[in-house]
């Protein structure tokens, strides 16, 4: 089997070196770009996953992520961010990131995330051939077509990343049920790490921004205190 190709965009030399070394030990092919310019040069060759730092010498990872999404490139992007505030994380998700990790992180967790993301994306490429019982769904002013992956809010198209789409689908399949953050992580993210429950919260912030009339007073994506979340169509 061909090794999976990863592009690592990271300007911190020590971290870049350590990550490249450890990822190569896991039998990934890793190209390391310390700048956006270098990353752009590499991107024409095609990757299975991009690990993208936020603060780079010639700009931000957010810019690059927006750029490639605008070009119709759906390669999974995992942000490596030192900025831990949910505002920054939401900016990353809005730029089209599939997932993020906050520095400093544990290497084992990063490897688990990468594995899960690659597994999800290989499923997604096969998804068209799988018969799906759920074809369309509507709630509020939102229409979803699961066959074409098209989502509209008040008639206007909404761009979702693969992970956001999976999360939305999971909520719809479990509508009116309380689902815990741990269950969401296991079912949608495919990770067993309980230390990343904040990830789920940040994706919920994003779904509310996209689909709630008033994100501060959600009607569909509800928080159930001490238990998790509930989707109410
Ligand atoms: Ca940096």
Q: Is the pLDDT of residue 216 over 90?
A: yes
Instruction: List, as one string, the DSSP characters of 176-225.
Output: TSEE-HHHHIIIII----GGGHHHHHHHHHHHHHHH-SSTTS-SSEEEET
CA of 132 relative to ligand 1 center, distance in Å: 42
CA of 21 relative to ligand 1 center, distance in Å: 18
CA of 56 relative to ligand 1 center, distance in Å: 5
Averaged confidence pLDDT in the chain: 89
Cβ contact 105:15 at 8 Å: no
Q: Is the pLDDT of residue 130 over 50?
A: no
CA of 54 relative to ligand 1 center, distance in Å: 6
Q: What is the pLDDT of residues 71-80, one digit of tens each?
A: 888 899 999 9
SS3 content of the chain, % helix, strand, coil (to 5): 45, 25, 35
Helix, coil or strand: residue 134: coil
pLDDT, average across residues 118-136: 66
CA of 89 relative to ligand 1 center, distance in Å: 15
Confidence of residue 221 (pLDDT cuts 50, 70, 90): very high
Share of the chain above pLDDT 90, in %: 60
CA of 45 relative to ligand 1 center, distance in Å: 23
CA of 124 relative to ligand 1 center, distance in Å: 30
Half-sphere exposure of 171 (CA within 13 A, CB side): 26
Q: Which fold has domain 136-231?
A: Arc Repressor Mutant, subunit A (1.10.10)
CA of 199 relative to ligand 1 center, distance in Å: 21
pLDDT, average across residues 46-53: 96
CA of 230 relative to ligand 1 center, distance in Å: 37
Q: What integer pLDDT is reported at residue 131 of this predicted model?
A: 45
CA of 64 relative to ligand 1 center, distance in Å: 14
Share of the chain above pLDDT 70, in %: 91
CA of 9 relative to ligand 1 center, distance in Å: 9
Question: Helices marked H in 13-106 — which ranges?
Answer: 13-25, 36-43, 61-70, 86-94
pLDDT, average across residues 47-61: 95
Residue labelled with tokens 């965009």: 9
Q: Is the pLDDT of residue 222 over 60?
A: yes
Cβ contact 172:231 at 8 Å: yes
Q: Is the pLDDT of residue 196 over 70?
A: no
The whole-model pTM stands at 0.77
CA of 60 relative to ligand 1 center, distance in Å: 9
Cβ contact 151:143 at 8 Å: yes
Confidence of residue 84 (pLDDT cuts 50, 70, 90): low
Q: Is the pLDDT of residue 63 over 80?
A: yes
Confidence of residue 125 (pLDDT cuts 50, 70, 90): low
Q: How far is CA 86 from the centre of its chain?
A: 14
Domain ranges of the chain: 5-127, 136-231
CA of 51 relative to ligand 1 center, distance in Å: 12
Q: What integer pLDDT is reported at residue 82 of this predicted model?
A: 79
Choosing among 3.40.120.10, 3.40.605.10, 3.40.50.2300, 3.40.50.20, the CATH entry for 5-127 is 3.40.50.2300
Q: Is the pLDDT of residue 172 over 90?
A: yes
CA of 130 relative to ligand 1 center, distance in Å: 40
């Amino acid at each position: 089997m061909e090794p999976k190709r990863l592009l690592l965009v990271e300007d911190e030399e020590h971290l870049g070196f350590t990550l490249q070394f450890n990822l190569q030990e896991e039998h990934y092919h890793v190209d390391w770009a310390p700048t956006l310019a270098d990353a752009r040069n590499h991107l024409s060759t095609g990757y299975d996953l991009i690990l993208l730092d936020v603060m780079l010498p010639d700009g931000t990872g957010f810019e690059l992520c927006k750029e490639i999404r605008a070009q119709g490139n759906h390669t999974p992007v995992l942000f490596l961010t030192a900025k831990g505030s949910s505002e920054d994380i939401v900016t990353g998700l809005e730029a089209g990131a599939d997932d993020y990790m906050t520095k400093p992180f544990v290497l084992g967790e990063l490897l688990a995330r990468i594995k899960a993301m690659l597994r999800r994306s290989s499923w997604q490429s096969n998804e068209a051939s799988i018969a799906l019982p759920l074809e369309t769904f509507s709630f509020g002013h939102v229409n979803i077509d699961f066959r074409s992956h098209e989502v509209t809010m008040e008639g206007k198209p909404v761009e979702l990343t693969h992970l956001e789409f999976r999360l939305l689908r999971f909520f719809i399949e479990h509508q009116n049920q309380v689902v815990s953050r741990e269950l969401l992580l296991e079912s949608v993210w495919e990770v067993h790490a309980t230390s990343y429950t904040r990830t789920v919260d940040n994706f919920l912030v994003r779904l509310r921004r996209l689909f709630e009339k008033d994100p501060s007073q959600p009607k569909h994506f509800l928080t159930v205190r001490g238990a998790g979340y509930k989707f109410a169509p």
